[in-house]
Amino acid sequence: MSSLFVENLRQGFNSLKSHKVRAVITASIIAIGITALVGILTSIDAMNNAISKTMSKMGSQSFNISNRNSVERFGVADDFKPITYEQAHRFEAFYNNKLPVSLSLNASFNSKIKFQNQETNPNIKILGVEEDYLKTANYEIAAGRNFTPNDIRMNLPLAVVGYDIVKDLFLESDLEGRSIGRTISIDGKPFKVVGELKKKGSSMGMSGGDRLVFIPIHNARQSFASVYDNCNISVLVDKVGDLELEMNEAYTMMRRIRRLRPSDNDDFVMSKSDALAKDAQKNMAMVSGVGTLIGIITLLGAAVSLMNIMLVSVTERTREIGLRKALGATSKNIRDQFLVEAIVICQLGGIGGIILGLLLGNLVAFGLGSGFIAPWNWIIMAFVVCILVGLVAGMYPARKASKLDPIEALRHD
């Protein structure tokens, strides 16, 4: 049996050598389909990796507690009171020495930052924060330092600035730390820069994580009239697996602090930092489905083309088939030979398609900075698909060849 398979394989390769142009064209059609399939799915894996890395930078092991906006219900607005600093501070005290907790206040969403004759657009976010906020929000200091507990307690007019702020205001050089020790103006109020943040990066075209300024939380309460008491609470857990457990405990504690009865609706919102990542990955799953469908449609077109070319091959090789039958080849031998030829063509095209697909997909990965991607599940699937396409596309021509009458075949011109 094995020697017969080897012989069929040898005959298949000999036939391909005899009809090189036809074999190359057919294999190229298959390669295009596999390239589309592997390339699209590799690109999607690269995008998923990029999203995961971005969300990891944004603090995927943390959760936030914030104010719940008033919602119109049956024509009546629910009156949800903001989380006061005192309530947030009680929550922080409960978690003291257990998990890193930090409070923040949205001081402004549309501030203008100035340094000498340079200024930003009036779209800079100002956050009043505690010394642990950078840890809970997963920001890193590029130069200078973070706030100290004394800075917070003394309400000092200090600032830690985002990457884009430094880039827009301090044009004399590209060196990190060029803003340290300088005094900037935030809506006319002077603040001394003590730290620069590392680039946070963008997600889905948004770079808000780099267009902000942190100031001490008590200074924010004094300097910005719009602050009121709208505290946000950030909690960093040790492990992602502990996230749900800690959120449940925090939820119970927050309802107690807010003095909510069992029948009362929640008047605060809890959110995980990985929520955006999950939404994005759901959308990527839909894109993956569409990409797979496009690749399958392309492969169906390739299968039809392969079947057509194999039928032409049967017609061209009628005398050869008749001669082989006259010398003792059975119908099964003829059928197996044509099936092997179809599968060999598909596999050659598939290998080329996989290589091209990996190259194209990793060009996208390189552009996204997600590293080399080798989706072995898609590569294995591509090989399996090539075998199936070869079997399906080659079956009808192979059966037609195997049923030829040897006498009639030998008479064929």
99-112, pLDDT tens digit by residue?
888 899 888 888 99
Instruction: Using the CB atoms, write b or e for 52-90: b if 16+ within 10 Å.
Output: bbbbebbbbbbbbbbbbeeeeeeeeeeebeebebebbee
Strand 189-197 to 141-144 pairing: antiparallel
As a whole number, mean pLDDT of residues 233-250 equals 81
Tell how strand 124-129 and strand 212-216 pair up. parallel
- Other CB atoms within 10 Å distance of the CB of residue 286: 9
- Among 19-28, 142-151, 157-166, the minimum mean pLDDT is found in 19-28
Q: Is the pLDDT of residue 204 over 50?
A: no
Q: What is the reported pLDDT for 196?
A: 95
* pLDDT, greater one: 346 or 400: 346
Tell me the whole-structure pTM to 2 decimals.
Answer: 0.54
Copy the structure tokens of residue 310. 């194999």
Q: What SS3 class is residue 95?
A: coil
pLDDT in tens, 369-379: 667 777 777 77
Report whether 238 contacts 99 (CB < 8 A). Answer: yes
